[in-house]
Amino acid sequence: MHHVGMTVTDLAAAVAFFEALGMELEGKAHMEGEFVDGVIGLDGSTSDIAMMKTPDDRYRIEFSQFQTPQSIDGSSHAPIHALGLRHVAFVVDDLDDTLARLKPHGAEVVRNIETYENLLRTCYVRGPEGILVELCQYFT
């Protein structure tokens, strides 16, 4: 897998949230033209993208903010059982510290922090624009 793509209306907020989570900004670019239109299937598209990577350089998320055509609501606050891509999961060293770093960026725990069979503590948080992020802290 190379990356997962997510469309947002506030690119800066998405970048700030995922930097607080520990991801690194790999680069930003403005996208438009025949090549992009041909790949994504939208004529006359213009967008700005930000590619974020995990500190170990293994995983990436590409965030896109479209200027044209205007983005449409894709049910950004859909519950977890709705069809389609619903969440991204991260292993963290310290769940409480991670939640504290994400809180200023609007992150809220969906319901509870739960412990599974003394193996891990986990929870879902909503990030910018309703992005669901699962956080997992494994016990050592």
CATH code, domain with 103: 3.10.180.10
The reply to whether 75 falls in a domain is: no
Dihedral of the alpha carbons of 111, 117, 120, 121, in degrees to the nearest 10: 20
Residues in the chain: 140
pLDDT cut 70: percent of the chain above it:
99
Distance of alpha carbon 84 from alpha carbon 106, whole angstroms: 24
Overall domain count for the chain? 2
- Looking at the predicted structure, is the pLDDT value of residue 1 above 90? no
Q: Write the CB contacts of 70 (distance below 8 Å, at least 6 apart in sequence).
A: none
The reported pTM is 0.89
- Has residue 96 been placed in a domain? yes
Looking at residue 73, what is its pLDDT? 77
Spatial separation of the C-alpha atoms in residues 54 and 57, rounded to whole Å:
5
Give the residue numbers spanning the domain of 14: 4-68
Q: What is the pLDDT of residues 62-114, one digit of tens each?
A: 999 999 998 887 777 777 677 677 889 999 999 999 999 999 999 999 999 99
What is the reported pLDDT for 80?
A: 66
Bridge partners of 60?
53
- How confident is the model at residue 117, as a pLDDT? 93
